[in-house]
Amino acid sequence: MPEYKAPLRDMQFVLNEVLELEQHYQQLPGCEDATGDMINAIMDEGAKFCERVLSPLNQVGDQQGCQFNDGEVTTPDGFKEAYQQYVEGGWPSMTHAPEWGGQGLPESLGIMINEMTGSANWAWSMYPGLCHGAMNTLEAHGSKQQKETYLTKLVSGEWTGTMCLTEPHCGTDLGLLRTKAEPQADGSYQISGTKIFISAGEHDMADNIVHIVLARLPDAPAGTKGISLFIVPKFMPTPDGGAGARNGVSCGAIEHKMGIHGNSTCVMNFDAATGFLIGPENKGLNCMFTFMNTARIGTALQGLAHAEWGFQNSLSYARERLQMRSLNGPQAPDKAADPIIVHPEVRKMLLTQKAFAEGGRALIYLSAMQADIAAKAQDSQTRAEADNLLALLTPIAKAFLTETGFESANHGLQVYGGHGFISEWGMEQNVRDCRISMLYEGTTQIQALDLLGRKVLMTQGETLKTFTKIIHKFCKAQADNEALKTLIPTLASLNQEWGELTMKVGMKAMQNRDEVGAASVDYLMYSGYITLAYLWARMAAVAASKLAAGEGDADFYQAKLTTARFYFERLLPRTRSLVATMESGADNLMALDEAHFRF
C-alpha cells in the first residue's frame, strides 16, 4: 500500500530558515503566541493524524467512493470517524477568531496543516477544506446573529459548509446564473434553482451543512452586478443551536468522476429553500471574492500535494525496483540488476518532482504569509503592499503549481512503469485525483487571463513591479555570493526580461486585444518558472550559509544546492520556448476560419 510521510524537515526549513516564520508572527498583532515551539508541536500532531489516520483511507476512498441513495450520501468507510477525530482535535477552529470559538492562530499555520491533510488524502481533506470559504465569508460579511447561529457551529466543526456557485448552463461566467431569491415578509428569502459541481454538498459526516449560495433578487441588474449571497442551511437551526426541520434543499445526484471518488460532488436542488442574505443586496460577488485569494491558495496546495505524494512513493519504488545495469557498470553487483534510481532518466523524473514539490511549498508558504500580513498588519500601507503581492502570486500559485503537480504525478506513474498503471500501487489514482486541480477555482486559462490581464496590464505593470523589485534586491544582495554564482546572473537576467516581455505583450494588445489571450497561459507558466527560480535561489542561499558555518545536517543542505542547480539547468530553460510562443502572437491561433475546423 502507498504511504505518506509528512515532510516535516523540509517544511521547517522553509518556514524557519528561509521565511523566518516566528519573526513574522511576532510582528503581527494577535499572533505573538505562535512561537517556534508551538508551531512545531502543532505540526508534529498534525503529521501523526495525517500519517496514521488519513493516509490509510486514501485508497479506501478511491475504491469505495461515495454512495448515493434517495438524496442521501454515505462517505467511504472510516471517513466519518476520521472527521470526528479531526473535530475532537480542535483542527477546524485553528485560524478563526476566539470570539466565535476559534483559536485565533494565523492563516498561514492552517495552510501548513492543510498541506499535510491534502497530501495524505485529498478527497477527505475537501470536506473540512470547503468549510473554510464558508467560514471566512460569514466572518467577514455575516451579521452578529448569523455568526452566532452558523459561524460558531462551523468553527467547532459540528457543522460543515459549502460554496454553491456553478449552475448547469454557466461555469466561470457567473453573470449567467439563474437561481432566484424571493423576499419574504419575515426578512428571509425563498431560494430556487439548481447548482452543480458542489463538492461536499451532501454527506454523512456532520449534523448539518450550511450552503453559501449565489442567487438573484427579482429586481436585480443583469450580469455580475445583480448577484447576491445567501445562507441556506440543510436543516433549519433550532433556538437551542441544534439542527431542526429539513429545509427545501436536496441532493439530486452525485457526479461519476475521473478521480477524488471519496469526496461527493453534488447536484444541489433548491426548492423554495429558506435563505438569509449575507452582506448588501447585489454585492454577492464582492463578498465572495474577499476570500478568493486564500481559496485559490488552497487549490494550489493540491498541486503540491500530488507532487509530494508522487515523489515520496516513486522514490521508494525507484530505490527497490531492479532493472538493467547502470551504463557505467554495476552499481549493486550483489544483486541481479541495479535499482532503477541509478538511471539518468529516472533521476530526471524524481528530481523534477522534488524541485516542483519543494519549490511549490516555498511559494505557497510565502503567499500564505502575505495573507497574514494583509489581514493583520497594523500599518495600512504594509497591508496594501502585502495584498498587492498576494494578488499577483495567487494566480501563479494556483495555475502553475497545479500544472506542475499534474506533471509530477505523471512522472510518479512513469517511474513505476507498468505497475504504475495498476490500481494497487496508487499512482494512477494520484494522476486521476490531480487532474481536477487545473479546472476548479478557475481553470489554468482563467487564472492566466486574470494574471496578465487584470493583475499586470490593468495596473500598468505596477503589481508586477512590486515583485520584480524584491527579486532585483535579492539578486543585488547575493551578487558576490560564490556559492550562487551559477544562479544569480540567470535569475537577474530573467527578472529583467519579465518586465520587457510584459511591455511587448501590452503594446501588441493595444492593437489587438486577442494578443492577451494568446499569450496568457505561456505568460503565466513563464512567470511561474521565474517565481520558483527566485525561491530556489533563496533556499540555496540559506543552504550555502549553513554549510559554510558547519551547522545542521550537511546532507540536507547539500541536497538543496544540488536540486537548485538541477532546477536552474534543467527546468528553468523551459522559459525560452515560452518566450518564443508568446512572441509568435495571436495570428497563428486566429487565422484559421471557424468553418475550416473540420474532422
Print the SS3 string covering 357-400. Answer: HHHHHHHHHHHHHHHHHHHHCCCHHHHHHHHHHHHHHHHHHHHH
Q: Is residue 541 part of a domain?
A: yes
- The answer on 145 and 274 residing in a single domain is yes
Region 43-50: mean pLDDT is 97
Check: CB of residue 96 under 8 Å from CB of residue 102.
yes
Label residue 171 by pLDDT band (50, 70, 90). low
The CA distance from 516 to 523, in Å, is 9
pLDDT recorded at residue 175: 62
Number of domain units in the chain: 3
Q: Is residue 447 part of a domain?
A: no
Q: Is residue 14 helix, strand or coil?
A: helix
Determine the pLDDT at residue 441: 86
Domain that includes residue 97, residue range: 8-288
Instruction: Kindly report the CATH number assigned to the domain that includes residue 397.
Output: 1.20.140.10
Cell of 72: 442521501
pLDDT tens-digit readout, 310-364:
999 999 999 999 999 999 999 999 999 999 999 999 999 999 999 999 999 999 9
CB atoms within 10 A of CB 565: 15
Burial class (CB in 10 A: 0-12, 13-18, 19+), 451: buried
Residue 93 has pLDDT above 70, yes or no: yes
* Beta partners for residue 67, in sequence order: 74
State the CB neighbour count (10 A cutoff) for residue 351: 19
For 205, the grid coordinates are 459526516
CB of 440 closer than 8 Å to CB of 402? no
Does 333 lie in the same domain as 437? yes
Catalytic hit among 17, 441, 462, 583: 441
Residue 299 or residue 547, greater confidence: 547
pLDDT of residue 255: 96
Cα 173 to Cα 165, 167, 303, distances in angstroms:
10, 10, 24
Report how far residue 435's alpha carbon sits from residue 482's, in angstroms, rounded to the nearest whole number.
41
Tell me what pLDDT residue 173 has.
64
Looking at the structure, do residues 428 and 406 belong to the same domain, yes or no? yes
158 is catalytic: no
Residue 223's pLDDT band (cuts 50, 70, 90): confident
Inter-residue contact 313 to 265 (CB < 8 Å): no
Both 159 and 253 in one domain: the answer is yes
Average pLDDT across the chain, whole number: 95
> According to the model, what pLDDT value does residue 177 have?
83
Out of 442, 469, 498, a domain closes at 442
How confident is the model at residue 359, as a pLDDT? 98
The mean pLDDT value for 36-57 works out to: 96
**Are the C-beta atoms of 61 and 121 separated by less than 8 Å?**
yes
Question: What are 130-150's pLDDT values in tens digits?
Answer: 888 889 899 999 999 999 999
| Residue written as grid cell 460543515 | 160
Q: Are residues 71 and 215 in the same domain?
A: yes
User: Judging by DSSP bridges, how do beta strands 159-164 and 208-215 pair with one another?
Assistant: parallel
Using one digit for the tens of pLDDT, what is the confidence trace for 247-282?
A: 999 999 999 999 999 999 999 999 999 999 999 999
**Among 228, 256, 288, where does a domain finish?**
288
335/412 same-domain check: yes
**Residue pointed to by grid coordinates 449567467:** 176
Residues 282 and 307 in one domain: no
Confidence of residue 291 (pLDDT cuts 50, 70, 90): low
329 and 301 in one domain? yes
Percentage above 70 pLDDT, the chain: 98
Q: What is the mean pLDDT of residues 369-387?
A: 93
Kindly state whether residues 364 and 494 are assigned to the same domain: no
Return the pLDDT at 172.
65
pLDDT score of 212: 95
Q: pLDDT tens, 553-571?
A: 999 999 999 999 999 999 9
pLDDT bracket for residue 224 (50, 70, 90): confident
DSSP-derived 3-state class of residue 247: coil
Q: What is the C-alpha separation between 498 and 493, in angstroms, rounded?
A: 9
**How many CB atoms lie under 10 A from the CB of residue 183?**
14
Q: Where are the alpha helices (DSSP H) in 5-121?
A: 8-12, 21-26, 36-49, 58-64, 79-88, 107-120
CA–CA separation, 599 and 595 (whole Å): 11
